[in-house]
């Protein structure tokens, strides 16, 4: 995925590398289909009624509006999905987001006090869900639309136990 192995510490390794579930792309895909149909209808209805000298200008206006709507409704959500990653190592949870401006958050596993998951009916059908991580500071972090959330929940719990055991052995 988008996380570089060079950013790992000594003895740290990636356990799970995740991206938001593909269900985040359903509405951009629907918008793309509607936008293509609307652009075709606009060209089919508008251009025959325009005098020959104005057809080029109207065609360019329709194309420009279609491109702007495509970038806003389809391309931006896709890039947001593509650039959002969740990486779980044997020591921490690493989140990375952002298309142009990158945002990252690292949460050591030993700081996580509780892990909960939630799956709506649609999430169960699609195989995803939300993870809520609570820290000792009672500051919850919710990761939405995690694919295979039950497996991720289980593996994260195992890694938290291993990290806590390793911390106790070091002291």
141, 129 contact by CB (below 8 A): no
CA 29 to each of CA 22, 70, 91: distance values in angstroms, whole numbers, following the listed order? 11, 10, 37
CATH topology of domain 11-19+87-170: PH-domain like (2.30.29)
Please tell me what DSSP assigns to residue 115. E
CA dist 92 and 100 (Å) reads 25
pLDDT for position 59:
86
What are the start-end ranges of the H helices in 13-139?
Answer: 26-49, 55-70, 76-82, 121-126
Outline where DSSP puts E strands in 98-171: 103-108, 112-118, 128-135, 141-147
- Name the pLDDT band for 2 (thresholds 50, 70, 90): low
Q: What is the pLDDT of residue 168?
A: 82
Higher pLDDT, 6 or 10: 10
pTM of the model: 0.82
Rounded-to-integer distance, Cα 3 and Cα 105, Å: 12
For residues 30-38, give the mean pLDDT: 97
Supply the pLDDT for residue 7: 81
Q: Could you read off the pLDDT of 92-144 as tens digits, one per residue?
A: 999 999 999 999 989 999 999 899 999 999 999 999 999 999 987 877 889 99
Q: Give pLDDT, residue 3.
A: 65
């Amino acid at each position: 995925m988008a996380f570089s192995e060079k950013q790992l510490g000594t003895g740290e390794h990636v356990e799970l590398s995740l991206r938001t579930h593909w269900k985040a792309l359903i509405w951009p895909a629907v918008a793309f289909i509607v936008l293509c149909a609307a652009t075709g209808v606009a060209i089919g209805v508008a251009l025959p009624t325009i005098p020959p000298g104005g057809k080029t200008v109207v065609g360019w206006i329709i194309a420009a509006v279609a491109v702007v709507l495509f970038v806003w409704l389809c391309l931006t959500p896709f890039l947001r999905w593509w650039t959002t990653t969740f990486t779980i190592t044997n020591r921490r949870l690493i989140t990375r987001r952002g298309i142009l401006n990158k945002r990252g958050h690292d949460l050591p596993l030993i700081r996580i006090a509780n892990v909960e998951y939630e799956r709506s009916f649609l999430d169960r059908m699609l195989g995803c869900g939300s993870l809520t991580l609570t820290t000792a500071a009672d500051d919850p972090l919710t990761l939405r639309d995690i694919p295979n959330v039950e497996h991720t929940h289980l593996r994260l719990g195992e890694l938290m136990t291993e990290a806590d055991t390793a911390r106790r052995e070091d002291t």
